[in-house]
Amino acid sequence: MLKTLLLLLTFLLGIILHDAYTYSFLIKYLLMVMLFFSFIEIDLKERVPKRKILVLIAANILIALGVYVILKPFDPSLAMIAFLTAIAPTATAAPVVTHFMKGKVHFVALCVLFSNIVIALILPFIFLLLDLDQNQRQLSVGSMLMSVIIVILIPLGLAIMVQRSNKIKKTLLPFKSMAFIAWLLLLFLASAKVTHFITQSIALSLPYMLSIAFLTLIICILNFYLGRVLGGRDLRKESSQALGHKNTMLIIWICLTYLNPVYALGPMLYIVWHNVYNTYQISKISIRQAKA
């Protein structure tokens, strides 16, 4: 509950103090901090059903492409927002929620690692497949690919180096809370950037905003439900988290850096939905344990 309240407060602060958009260049580095602290706890040697992880990543991509194809004939801009919301990989916080749910944390942690790498690497090429108007924003697939590789692989490389030294790893683990602080700062700066862009460039109608909110809610429900189905009996709740709890910050950074900042509205609203759902899940478990 406290996390959800902090989330909403951060959103509001970004809207009110939208002049902070001038510091949005820090989003890239905050994202790297988040990923680093997530990666240092992943043990690549531990055996998990990697085929299941690949199935979830494939489902992630197909859902995103599916909603884009369905919506494009009606509203290309809304279709792009839906695609970018749905394509986001597994959130770095998903293993923490899985831990509260007494699930297999390491499986979800590996979903974080592999889905973030795969999505980051293929996304620039998917933009070519979708025939995104590159002239509008002068999008260079090559420069975008290089940027996302840097954002993903530098934290991964540093994490692998740290894992080789138990002393350094034990020294850094107490600072793991920095990942949550980085996440809040990311959200604040992203909210400020999008608010500034909207107030200076365009005026979105309330019905259009509500349609984005409704669409992202449907995508959220679909992801958590399909994750449970694909997880089977053994990995139902873990797969639900892996597919439904998304690292929208990676996509928000891409939207703000290379695409239309308005596209970031979808991933930002999705943050609200998946956190509300996770808060409900954890609260239900806490109530059940209190009665036991």
CA 95, 98, 104: angle at the middle one, nearest 5? 90
Q: What is the pLDDT of residue 97?
A: 82
Q: What per-residue confidence (pLDDT) applies to 216?
A: 95
At residue 135, the pLDDT reads 41
Name the DSSP class of 133: -
Q: pLDDT under 50 in the chain at which residues?
A: 133-137
- Say what the pLDDT of residue 41 is: 74
Model pLDDT, residue 44: 67
How many whole angstroms from its chain centre is CA 119? 11
The pLDDT of residue 68 is 95
Tokens, residue 70: 């369905």
| Alpha carbons 120 and 43: distance in angstroms, whole number | 21
All domains of the chain in start order, with CATH = 2-291 (1.20.1530.20)
The pLDDT of residue 136 is 45
pLDDT score, position 103: 85
Annotate 253-284 with b (16+ C-beta within 10 A) or e (fewer).
Answer: bbbbbbbbbbbbbbbbbbbbbbbebbbebeee
